[in-house]
């Protein structure tokens, strides 16, 4: 494992209690950062913090609750330190259905969590990062945001929106030494698969030239560099994690 120096940094990882978010939190801790996990699942948070050990803490919060996000951000800055790293990993896949049959309430739920939630969390951390003239933000999008997945239109549209948000925000904050980038994972073998049909899972796997799903540690390795001081120039960019699937 390559060494990434994050000593003295305070990181927030949303959706950090499990899956890709947990793997990222683990890698950031090993690199010297203190990490606050933000997640809605209290039980999963307790298990994650115990597993991660020293340097890890947790806040139970709904990323669609702007007031709640402002509250826990203030608590973290008071208890742990100024947040200099943000990784937005919280999200849901939503149900499989064609656009014609997609339930509008389910659509709104998926977009509210995956896109609007990412917007809310970014919005909350920006003022403090600007005040310190430094920050690193990574928004976890998806290859679906580039290519679209049939019967997963809400998720695909929301993740495409995350890419647009990242590009806009990266340009807005470039002069404050705040890098804002996105990664586009192909399917990883995490609990999000539990909400998808076997047919859809097989559909995604066959389209990955690597012939396998993403390992969460591979995502964590890329993110660790993106949130480091070594990433001193690149911002408003999208980094591919699709195993060769993406066509651009």
User: 110-116 — which CB contacts under 8 Å span 24+ positions?
Assistant: 110/154, 110/155, 110/158, 111/154, 111/157, 111/158, 111/161, 112/64, 113/63, 113/64, 113/158, 114/155, 114/158, 114/159, 114/161, 114/162, 115/157, 115/158, 115/159, 115/161, 115/162, 115/165, 116/64
pLDDT-above-70 percentage for the chain:
99
Crossing angle (nearest 10°) for helices 117-132 and 66-79: 40
pLDDT of amino acid 55: 98
Helix, strand, coil percentages, rounded to 5, for the chain: 50, 20, 35
| The CATH number, out of the four listed (3.30.1330.10, 3.90.1150.10, 3.30.2350.10, 3.40.50.720), of the domain defined by the range 10-238 | 3.40.50.720
pLDDT band at 156 (very low <50, low <70, confident <90, very high): very high
Q: Summarize the confidence of residues 121-128 as an average pLDDT.
A: 98
The string of pLDDT tens digits covering residues 16-68 is 999 999 999 999 999 999 999 999 999 999 999 999 999 999 999 999 999 99
The arithmetic mean of pLDDT across residues 97-120, rounded, is: 98
Answer whether residue 197 shows pLDDT above 80: no
pLDDT(194) > 80:
no
Q: What is the pLDDT of residue 46?
A: 98
Reply yes or no on whether the pLDDT at 136 is more than 90: yes
Question: Rounded to whole angstroms, how far apart are CA atoms 75 and 61?
Answer: 12
The reported pLDDT for the residue numbered 239 is: 97
- The one catalytic residue in 102, 155, 203, 248 is 155
Distance CA 118, CA 145 (A): 14
Has 120 been annotated as catalytic? Answer: no
Crossing angle of helices 104-111 and 153-173, rounded to 10°: 30
Does the predicted model carry a pTM greater than 0.85? yes
Q: Could you tell me the residue ranges of all domains in the chain?
A: 10-238
The pLDDT of residue 198 is 82
């Amino acid at each position: 494992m390559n060494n990434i120096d994050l000593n003295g940094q305070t990181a927030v990882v949303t959706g950090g209690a499990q899956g890709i978010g947990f793997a990222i939190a683990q890698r950031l801790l090993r690199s010297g950062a203190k990490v606050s996990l933000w997640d809605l699942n209290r039980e999963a948070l307790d298990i994650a913090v115990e597993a991660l050990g020293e340097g890890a803490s947790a806040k139970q919060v709904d990323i669609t609750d702007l007031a709640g996000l402002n509250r826990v951000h203030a608590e973290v800055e008071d208890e742990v330190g100024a947040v200099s790293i943000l990784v937005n990993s919280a999200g849901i896949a939503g149900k499989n259905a064609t656009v014609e049959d997609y339930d509008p309430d389910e659509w709104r739920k998926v977009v509210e969590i995956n896109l609007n939630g990412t917007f809310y969390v970014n919005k909350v951390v920006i003022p403090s990062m600007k005040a310190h003239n430094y920050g690193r933000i990574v928004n976890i999008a998806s290859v679906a945001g580039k290519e679209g997945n049939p019967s997963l239109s809400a998720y695909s549209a929301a993740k495409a929106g995350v890419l647009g948000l990242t590009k806009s925000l990266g340009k807005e904050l470039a002069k404050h030494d705040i890098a804002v980038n996105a990664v586009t994972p192909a399917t990883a073998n995490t609990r999000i698969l539990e909400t998808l049909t076997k047919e859809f899972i097989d559909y995604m796997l066959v389209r990955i030239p690597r012939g396998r799903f993403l390992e969460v540690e591979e995502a964590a390795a890329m993110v660790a560099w993106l949130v480091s001081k070594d990433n001193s120039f690149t911002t408003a960019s999208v980094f591919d994690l699709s195993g060769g699937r993406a066509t651009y």
